[in-house]
Amino acid sequence: MKQSKLNRVTPSRALFLVIAVIILTAIAVVCFIPIWHVLMASISDPTQVNVSKGLIIAPLERVDLTAYSMILSYKTLWSGYRNTIFYIILSCALTGVLTVIAGFVFSGSRFYYRNTFMLIISFTMLFNGGMIPTYMVIRSIGMVDTVAAMVVPGALSVFNIILMRTSMQEISGALEEAARLDGANDFVIMFQIILPLCKATFAVIMLFTIVMKWNDYMSALLYLPTETGLYPLQMELRKILFQSSQEITSSSSVSNATVYARGVEYAAIIVSTLPILLVYPFVQKYFVTGMTIGAVKA
């Protein structure tokens, strides 16, 4: 009862809470409505979507999957899908190995000059060569129009190194010492003693890598000027959303292609976005951890 005196809800407090709930609900609605609109439009009759104005809250007249059957026959979207998954696997492997290596070198007392070299590396966060010089370097080492250009350039980032290094520094040195006395070499220590204890950080780095690669279209735009067969998903989506979707509709032997364009666009968005939206709530807590350590330590 005493507690409730301190915590009692005054009228102005109640008003504040009501307003706060209204604002927060409004924000959530604004965040969600566009996604819902796209989902509903994608399962409506494309010819109706083409002429409808304003938001689509429920399927127009009836559920119609024409747009999805058109998108299924659109080969390059699926090759983009396949390429993106391939790039994600490669990027995760490369980023994982390189970041663990760098974290291992720069954490602990293994390396005398660690702070000097960490400084040299951190400088790249402050200042960089920029788009064109980076492109010229990638071109001069023969990476343009290859898979490597999509995977290697962003594989190691200072931010990830700092995350990894911080997490490794928190491990007691006694553990490493004990392993060394048992005759373990560096590789054993790095991958069998230290890495398992940094699982959470490692998972966070992998998640960041996956999201980054999933969303990435700039590296394809810059580094794949002619090799369109290597285009990732986002480049294919860009073609569908920003150029014309007539290519798709005409390929599926439909006359009067433009009336289907909008519906097909929305089906393409759902097909390419739904997987990540369905998975993310389950890994949400890792993002929260990652953002938190990143912000505190970086």
Q: Could you tell me which stretch among 21-29, 67-75, 85-93, 198-206 binds other proteins (CB under 8 A)?
A: 21-29
- The count of other CB atoms within 10 Å of the CB of residue 258 is 12
* DSSP at 41: H
The reply to whether 144 sits near other proteins by the rule CB under 8 A is: no
Which residues, numbered 192-231, are part of the site for other proteins (CB under 8 A)?
Answer: 211, 214-215, 217-218, 221-222
Which of 98, 144, 147, 254 binds other proteins (CB under 8 A)? It is: 98
* DSSP at 39: H
CB 71 within 8 A of CB 268: yes
> Rounded to the nearest 10 degrees, how much is the dihedral formed by the CA atoms of 84, 85, 91, 92?
150
The dihedral built from the CA positions of residue 289, 98, 132 and 238, taken in this order, carries a sign that is: negative
Q: Could you tell me which stretch among 58-66, 197-205, 250-258, 285-293 binds other proteins (CB under 8 A)?
A: 285-293
Indicate the residue among 50 and 250 with the shorter CB distance to other proteins: 50
Q: How far is the CB of 253 from other proteins (least distance, A)?
A: 25
Contacts of 216 (CB under 8 A, 6+ apart): 232, 234
The residue written with tokens 């285009």 in the block is: 231
Indicate the residue among 63 and 137 with the shorter CB distance to other proteins: 137
> Rounded to the nearest 10 degrees, how much is the dihedral formed by the CA atoms of 189, 296, 219, 131?
-120
Indicate the residue among 213 and 257 with the shorter CB distance to other proteins: 213
Which of 238, 247, 252, 259 binds other proteins (CB under 8 A)? It is: 238
The reply to whether 120 sits near other proteins by the rule CB under 8 A is: yes
Indicate the residue among 115 and 255 with the shorter CB distance to other proteins: 115
The reply to whether 141 sits near other proteins by the rule CB under 8 A is: yes
Contacts of 130 (CB under 8 A, 6+ apart): none
Indicate the residue among 65 and 158 with the shorter CB distance to other proteins: 158
Separation of alpha carbons 17 and 210, rounded Å:
38
Indicate the residue among 59 and 108 with the shorter CB distance to other proteins: 108
CB 262 within 8 A of CB 45: no
Which of 39, 43, 151, 155 binds other proteins (CB under 8 A)? It is: 155
3-state DSSP assignment of residue 231 = coil
Please, is 95 exposed, middle or buried when counting C-beta atoms within 10 Å of its C-beta (0-12, 13-18, 19+)? buried
Q: Could you tell me which stretch among 72-80, 85-93, 196-204, 267-275 binds other proteins (CB under 8 A)?
A: 267-275
| Count of residues interacting with other proteins (CB under 8 A) | 89
Binding mask 169-198 for other proteins (x = CB under 8 A): ----xx-xx--x----xxx-----------
Indicate the residue among 153 and 253 with the shorter CB distance to other proteins: 153
Which residues, numbered 59-88, are part of the site for other proteins (CB under 8 A)?
Answer: none
- The count of other CB atoms within 10 Å of the CB of residue 272 is 20
